Amino acid sequence: MIRIEGVRWTYAGADAPTLDGLSLHVRPGETVVLCGPSGSGKSTALRLMNGLIPHFHEGRLDGSVHLDGQPVADLPLDRLGRCTGTVLQHPRRQFFTDRIETELAFALENFGEPAEHIRERVTAVIDEHGLGGLTDRRLHELSGGQQQQVACAAAAAHRPPLLLFDEPTSNLSVAAVERFTAALARLRAGGATIVVAEHRLHFLRGLADRVIYLREGRVGAEWTGEEFAALNDDTLRAEGLRGLSPVSRPATARIHAQGPSIDGDVRPAKAPTGSRAGVTLRGVRCAFHGRRVLDVEEACLPAGAITAITGPNGAGKSTLARILTGLQRHDGEVLLDGRRLSRAQRQRSSAVVMQDVQRQLFTDSVEAELQLDASRGTALGERSRALLHDLGLEPFSDRHPLSLSGGQQQRLVVAAARLSARRIVVFDEPSSGVDRRHLYSITRVMRDLAAEGLVVLLISHDDELLELAADRELRLRLLGGK
């Protein structure tokens, strides 16, 4: 179905090619996994397959790309749209409407399908992907993980023969990953051709027909599904790949917290020693359009430790992050070391690594991005160079941030947060697009911040990262009703 031969692709303005001699074939009905280090060309390879390269992205393309025997560059856009469904790394960028039903219907309407057929298909897709509980809300009101679920459903709604998924589970809870895996199995059984670019690999064990490892823009290794499932962890680690078995992380000490949003109130007999050092929440509540999304009676987030904020998609984790950093209106109060902070004070006292870090990149080079806080007295020089080296960004110091891969952008914003000299630092899904090696480097960044006595909060569904990094845990639950 897909035939890529000797492709060399260089984005406009880039000094070096992202793909450099890539050749790979995907047969009809196959499920193929693309893996490899951040920046190895996985997302770019998907853009070749759906025609975004060369139809939308500017650059120089050498070699050939064929879809069903036809050169992709010659195929009309409507044909490409009918043949492919794609889920991008940050799905909110690909939404065209503000409702789940209209988003699922969007492609079908554009292809002129009968209205009755569209209604039947949308109803079926909502049921297949477990979206029934979300249909009364607008897309911008959903959490990042819920938006990811909607994007996966929308990509499959018009039954394209080729489905392309770019990090489809990066923001999903364990339960949501299980639902996505089941949906993927149904699509595979129905004869769809599927290509998945992923760092989290355990859920694909048993689904992949082939696994292709990309390195520096070309194929570095290839395994059948059976061969890949048999690889030991030492081999995976040597290639920087994640494990193939779900992590069963040990229980993490729970922080003092209570309220309707807390999954199991933790009420110690007496306040913990040094409880004033850190962030305290009191009566913090937040609602969107009359719907409660967060209700915390009290919680103590300690300084000098990494506190993981966990819970299902839609439980209010990112909302809590916005409250802590002064970006979200709310009821109640937030105290730092026993002193109440206004929203403006919190904005000056905090740094955040968002789920979609591209919205946090403002300058024209990696080095300039790290210099943004220099006016605050942050010491850079050798310190920033050492940090860039550890995060694998040193070769890109002169590159424009928007020319980096998703994982490289993620690590750049992590580096900026490390150098920000803020007292509260929040990492919201920082392992999205991150390979195994950089799970460790990001963990080192968080541990360094905690060792300096800062309040470090980690929002994540990634059990591999949580096992490495979490010292304490605040577990949230979904709220019902208004």
Mean pLDDT across 229-257: 88
- In tens, the pLDDT along 335-383 reads 999 999 999 999 999 999 998 888 899 999 998 898 886 545 444 577 7
Dist. CA 328–CA 322, nearest whole Å: 5
* pLDDT for position 377: 47
Asked whether residue 216 carries a pLDDT value surpassing 70, the answer given is yes
Strand partners, 19: 9
pLDDT above 70 covers what percent of the chain? 95
Which residue from 2, 23, 3 is spatially nearest to 222, judged by alpha carbons?
23
Q: Residue 150, SS3?
A: helix
Mean pLDDT across 214-218: 95
pTM of the entire structure?
0.87
Confidence grade of residue 460 (pLDDT, cut at 50, 70, 90): very high
Asked whether residue 265 carries a pLDDT value surpassing 80, the answer given is no
Q: Which residue shows structure tokens 């120089």? A: 60
Least confident window among 69-78, 199-208, 371-380, 432-441: 371-380
* pLDDT for position 249: 77
* pLDDT for position 345: 96
Q: What are the CA-CA distances from residue 263 to residues 144, 166, 318, 384, 441 (Å)? A: 20, 31, 16, 39, 30
Asked whether residue 234 carries a pLDDT value surpassing 70, the answer given is yes
What backbone phi and psi angles, to 5 degrees, belong to 442?
Answer: -70, -40
Strand partners, 86: 164
Least confident window among 61-70, 241-250, 351-360, 453-462: 241-250
Dist. CA 105–CA 172, nearest whole Å: 23
Strand partners, 308: 458, 473
Dist. CA 143–CA 356, nearest whole Å: 12
Mean pLDDT across 432-451: 92
Strands in 1-99 per DSSP E? 2-11, 19-26, 31-35, 59-67, 70-71, 84-87
Asked whether residue 24 carries a pLDDT value surpassing 90, the answer given is yes
Ranges 8-22, 207-221, 229-243, 358-372, most confident = 207-221
DSSP string over 205-270: TTT-SEEEEEETTEEEEEEEHHHHHT--HHHHHHTTPPPSS---PPP-EEPSEESTTBSS-B--SS
Mean pLDDT across 73-95: 89
Q: Which residue shows structure tokens 């096992």? A: 467
Which is more confidently placed, 432 or 116? 116
Which residue from 95, 92, 100, 94 is spatially nearest to 125, judged by alpha carbons?
100
Asked whether residue 143 carries a pLDDT value surpassing 50, the answer given is yes
Greatest pairwise CA separation for the chain in angstroms: 71
Mean pLDDT across 12-37: 94
Dist. CA 27–CA 25, nearest whole Å: 6
* pLDDT for position 172: 85
Q: Which domains does the chain have, with CATH numbers?
A: 2-238 (3.40.50.300), 253-475 (3.40.50.300)
* pLDDT for position 375: 45
* pLDDT for position 380: 57
Asked whether residue 191 carries a pLDDT value surpassing 60, the answer given is yes
CA 243 to chain CA centroid, nearest Å? 18
* pLDDT for position 266: 66
Mean pLDDT across 297-307: 96
- Residue 187 CB contacts under 8 Å (≥ 6 apart), including other chains: 156, 163, 194
